[in-house]
Amino acid sequence: MPQPWSAPVAPGPVSATVTIPGSKSLTNRALVLAALSTRPSTLTGALISRDSDLMIAAWHALGVPMTVEGTTITVGTNDGFHGPAEIDCGLAGTVMRFVPPAAVLADGQVRFDGDPRARERPMGTILEALRALGAVVEGDALPFTLVGTGGIAGGTVTIDASASSQFVSGLLLSGARYDKGLTIHHVGKPVPSMPHIDMTVEMVRAAGVAVDDEEPNTWRIEPGPVGAVDWVIEPDLSNATPFLAAAAVTGGEVTVTGWPSKTTQPGDAIRDILAQMGAEVTLVDGSLTVRGSDKLSGVDIDMRDVGELTPTVAALAALADSPSVLRGIAHLRGHETDRLAALAAEITTVGGDATETEDGLAIRPAKLHGGLWRAYADHRMATAGAIIGLVVPGVSVDDIATTAKTLPDFPAMWADLLGGAR
């Protein structure tokens, strides 16, 4: 077991300018599209982290040449995907749900496995969809094996994607390479994290694929080639949120550079959330600045579309002076960990008052104290503990190294942030 990391307490209001690495969501979608293309592509400003390393390794295993120099990834041409191959998904939802719909195009067996927690994450929806489209799949969760024949018929499939938008995105990314293209119908409760599907649709179209999403809960992808695109990856806005939260909880000022004026990233919603909680938020010439006030107000907010921000917002809510209700996030029970149970437990551990609801969390003001904050191998749980530790002495995070999943060297970035405390 790693040694617990003592979360540093801010000696005063923080004052810093922060540059955030590239978006995991954009990087891993671009890597899938580049692998499916018959021409070379490059990614500039890509995220290099455990999740992207696992994605690159998956394509290497399937015969796609990729080289990494700094934050530039060059993807070469390939003559099709080949098995036998072993794919390690780690705990990366984008690998376990985006690669299989492409790997059904391989000739030969492709076996998928991952971390112990990954074996508990929902996979049945996408594997049943692939079976319905003509693939041979052995297993219903990790580990599972695809028996590829070099192609797949495709056609129309009906799924319930209420557990994860990644089920839709994974199929969208590869559907153009299916013989008949692909039509996806969603039935069931609303799909969470819809901005991530919008991101996928925009990127697939940028690669020259025709996508019709005019009908609600239906996506039609025409068969055809996937074009080469030289992708420029935006900073990861969700990974920026702990740094912006630091300004809000310490009454300081933090600027994140490279913030896009228009984006499909759900992390952009932090601007409105922080403003609702009492911070001053300005975006000027690609720099987003948050200035904290002398208090934090609670919020009552539906976070269905921006569930990945929940750990950051829950940490802020635990430090607010009025109650908060975070709604529409029942699907977080199937993320890297059960984030609702984990957040309720860890906020309580440090003296907070947090309880689960049917579809979210209720968090009430309380006097917090130090304690061991468990990360549950979840990068966003770890950063939530760091936020609370800024103003609550004695908080330690049991596994801060898990932040390397999407944010390399988070402890050093956090230390640099505090170096500018006033």
Q: Distance between CA 276 and CA 291 in Å, rounded?
A: 13
Cβ atoms of 182 and 155 within 8 Å: the answer is yes
Is residue 144 located within the same domain as residue 197?
A: yes
Residue 243 main-chain phi, psi, to 5 deg: -70, -40
41-88 tens-digit pLDDT = 999 999 999 999 999 999 999 999 999 999 999 999 999 999 999 999
The verdict on residue 227 lying in a domain is no
Domain final residue pick, 220, 251, 284? 220
The verdict on residue 240 lying in a domain is yes
Mean pLDDT of 357-370: 97
pTM for the model: 0.92
308 labelled binding-site residue:
yes
246-259 tens-digit pLDDT = 999 999 999 999 99
Is residue 142 located within the same domain as residue 16?
A: no
pLDDT for 334 equals 83
Is residue 95 located within the same domain as residue 210?
A: yes
Distance, CA of 263 to chain centre: 15
The verdict on residue 226 lying in a domain is no
Is residue 210 located within the same domain as residue 253?
A: no
147-185 tens-digit pLDDT = 999 999 999 999 999 999 999 999 999 999 999 999 999
Mean pLDDT of 204-210: 97
Q: Which amino acid is at 186?
A: H
180 labelled binding-site residue:
no
Determine the longest span between alpha carbons in the chain, in angstroms: 63
Is residue 35 located within the same domain as residue 13?
A: no
Q: Distance between CA 267 and CA 237 in Å, rounded?
A: 5
Cβ atoms of 243 and 271 within 8 Å: the answer is no
Whichever domain contains 162, its CATH number is: 3.65.10.10
The verdict on residue 413 lying in a domain is yes
Residue 404 main-chain phi, psi, to 5 deg: -65, -10
83-108 tens-digit pLDDT = 999 999 999 999 999 999 999 999 99
405 labelled binding-site residue:
yes
pLDDT for 421 equals 66
Mean pLDDT of 139-153: 95
Q: List the domain range (segments joined by +) for residue 308.
A: 5-21+236-418
Q: Which of 234, 253, 308, 346 is catalytic?
A: 308
Q: What percentage of the chain carries pLDDT values higher than 90?
A: 96
Is residue 244 located within the same domain as residue 351?
A: yes
Strand 182-186's sheet: what is its strand order?
155-159, 182-186, 218-221, 211-212
Q: What percentage of the chain carries pLDDT values higher than 70?
A: 99
317-349 tens-digit pLDDT = 999 999 999 999 999 998 888 999 999 999 999
User: Is the predicted pLDDT of residue 420 greater than 70, yes or no?
Assistant: no
pLDDT band at 422 (very low <50, low <70, confident <90, very high): low
Is residue 315 located within the same domain as residue 349?
A: yes
287 labelled binding-site residue:
no
The verdict on residue 231 lying in a domain is no
Is residue 188 located within the same domain as residue 290?
A: no
121 labelled binding-site residue:
yes
215-231 tens-digit pLDDT = 999 999 999 999 999 99
335 labelled binding-site residue:
yes
- The answer to whether residue 86 is catalytic is no
294-322 tens-digit pLDDT = 899 999 999 999 999 999 999 999 999 99
Domain final residue pick, 161, 196, 220? 220
Q: Which amino acid is at 222?
A: E
The burial class, CB within 10 Å (0-12 / 13-18 / 19+), for 56 is buried
pLDDT for 69 equals 97
Is residue 294 located within the same domain as residue 197?
A: no
Is residue 200 located within the same domain as residue 272?
A: no
Number of domains in the chain: 2
Is residue 199 located within the same domain as residue 294?
A: no
3 labelled binding-site residue:
no
- Residue reference for tokens 């952009």: 268
Q: Distance between CA 216 and CA 156 in Å, rounded?
A: 16
User: Is the predicted pLDDT of residue 1 greater than 80, yes or no?
Assistant: no
261-282 tens-digit pLDDT = 999 999 999 999 999 999 999 9
Cβ atoms of 48 and 408 within 8 Å: the answer is yes
Q: Distance between CA 327 and CA 345 in Å, rounded?
A: 18
The verdict on residue 348 lying in a domain is yes
Domain final residue pick, 187, 220, 253? 220
279-293 tens-digit pLDDT = 999 999 999 999 999
The verdict on residue 346 lying in a domain is yes
Mean pLDDT of 97-123: 95
The verdict on residue 38 lying in a domain is yes
Is residue 29 located within the same domain as residue 177?
A: yes
User: Is the predicted pLDDT of residue 204 greater than 90, yes or no?
Assistant: yes
Cβ atoms of 37 and 252 within 8 Å: the answer is no
